Structure 1
């Protein structure tokens, strides 16, 4: 049986407190399930140019807390927190505090990091992928123990915590549902084994946004990624919720012309882009049909769009949420 659809919106920036609060309230009013940030810190400059990443002028944790304070039902999350940028206990306690102060509306996401120029610009050592993934696993294990309010006695390879109780515990029974995101075989197998929500992303092993990552997200590439999740999950695969970022979204009645123009810009054929699981291009009805077909094919029931598309995409949210 298919999971019901739900939808998130990911917003990177706001120029004022009023604008950010309006983003959060609008996401709730339009029926989105969760408001996400990312966890990036680059301001304009050579490092951001090298990453080809959109600017994010808000730090994730305080922006999450503010969004929670001005909404009542909206889940608050990040796709995803880069664990290398945070001391483990400080991150776990900060997330737990957002969960408590939002009355249990935290949807935490964890990732192993990938933006090479950001690591360098921030002075954070970027170790090989295997080590970063191992560190992420230990962060997730610590966070789950923290959300449970346990006496912490954790002696991992990368995370060590002793002689303290975890406070505040989560108000959510069993703790928040944890998202792990990525696009490589190892991180997706790990997500399948540990997460409640698996966020399917590009293979960003190049350390920046570019042709390699976008190309990894095609129909065949996404099918392979779902296979890696299934390998890691085993018998628990059906319990997972599969999420994807619809990075290339345009709600339009001029479907063919838009596909032609966007495919040229992305260096692929219109046919490949039309079936690219990170792309949703067409009318509301066409997009609804596409999402239902992709849920049948890949098991993807949770879709996140960018803040710039929040209003235009709202009719799709209204049509499919909970179905």
Structure 2
């Protein structure tokens, strides 16, 4: 069972200056990582800076904090190009870069850029090949690769890396979860992506039973993998009232409080209750790497101080 880690997802930071300010403050508060998404359209997360360049700035501005992507859409970069950029960022940061990858899911974004939005199985197979290529390139080999989606004939990655970046794969569907279980150091558990290019809004996807099934699929590959989620943390005196408020804000009504209490990614209530929930969910689900939005990372700092590294 891994020690607790905490990350800040800098999704409200619309400029490099804001990313740097968030990173510096996250380091002061004891967070382990600062992370950036990978989107170039405004919806659904708002305008964002280019992730690898933004993270380079954050790495230079900090000394301990790790920097990572959550997650890069594989189809937006050829793995040979990504390997070079990732190795450069790993060198620049002194080994503090964590490479988060996904198969890509947002149809509107693909279409806005004039890119083909292939069916899910094709995108997953392409990611599978990309991960294999990246690992060979990070190993310093002269790579020759002939796959269904990529062909490489004699490329050696530069700069060389003493230690390859840690790999995170975001996954919600069975095939992605098994791929992540085979290849990733960390698996970010997600709601599944749908064929229409959206993320499932099914509430059952966010409940403990579904989450446990997904973790079991990851663990069925027989490897020791860190389990992560983007979570909501609200420190409040009354857990029930906080759950009711959360449910009402999302249009589920006060009766949705019971469902909120059964969502592994929701940590609502007084500090001692949230700490207990974290321990319980780590024991039951393996969830040890918790990522919060930069909209609430200041308020969640007491949880970080109570649990980080334990």
TM-score category (smaller protein)? over 0.9
Name the CA distance, whole Å, in 1 between partners of 2:184 and 2:146. 21
Name the CA distance, whole Å, in 2 between partners of 1:12 and 1:260. 26
Partner of 1:198: helix, strand, or coil?
strand
Structure 1 equivalent of residue 101 of structure 2: 110
1:66: how far off?
0.9
Q: How does 1:263-282 map to 2 (within 5 A)?
A: 263-264=247-248, 265-267=250-252, 269-282=256-269
Give yes or no for the alignment of 1:244 onto 2:229. Answer: yes
Name stretches of at least 5 consecutive residues in structure 2 with no aligned partner: none
Partner of 1:276: helix, strand, or coil?
coil
Structure 2 equivalent of residue 262 of structure 1: 246
CA contact (8 A) 1:4 1:321 kept: yes
TM-score, normalised to structure 1, is 0.90
4+ aligned runs moved over 4 Å, structure 1: none
Give yes or no for the alignment of 1:78 onto 2:69. Answer: yes
1:21: how far off?
1.2
Match of 1:97 among 66, 70, 88: 88
Question: Would you tell me which structure has more helix in proportion to its own residues?
Answer: 1
Name the CA distance, whole Å, in 1 between partners of 2:208 and 2:244. 18
Give the 3 Å change call, closer, same or farther, for CA 126–223 of structure 1 in structure 2. same
Q: Deviations over 1:266-300 (max 9, x none)?
A: 53721111120121111222111101000010011
Name the CA distance, whole Å, in 1 between partners of 2:171 and 2:206. 11
Match of 1:193 among 182, 197, 200: 182
Structure 2 equivalent of residue 223 of structure 1: 212
Q: Aligned residues, how many?
A: 306
Partner of 1:97: helix, strand, or coil?
helix
CA contact (8 A) 1:21 1:70 kept: yes
CA contact (8 A) 1:7 1:317 kept: yes
Name the CA distance, whole Å, in 2 between partners of 1:186 and 1:210. 16
Name the CA distance, whole Å, in 1 between partners of 2:178 and 2:129. 15
Q: How does 1:115-264 map to 2 (within 5 A)?
A: 115-172=106-163, 175-205=164-194, 207-209=197-199, 211-212=201-202, 214-231=203-220, 233-234=221-222, 236=223, 239-246=224-231, 248-264=232-248
Partner of 1:133: helix, strand, or coil?
helix
TM-score, normalised to structure 2, is 0.94
CA contact (8 A) 1:69 1:102 kept: yes
Structure 1 equivalent of residue 302 of structure 2: 315
Name the CA distance, whole Å, in 2 between partners of 1:170 and 1:127. 33
Moved more, 158-167 or 304-313: 158-167
Partner of 1:21: helix, strand, or coil?
helix
1:69: how far off?
1.0
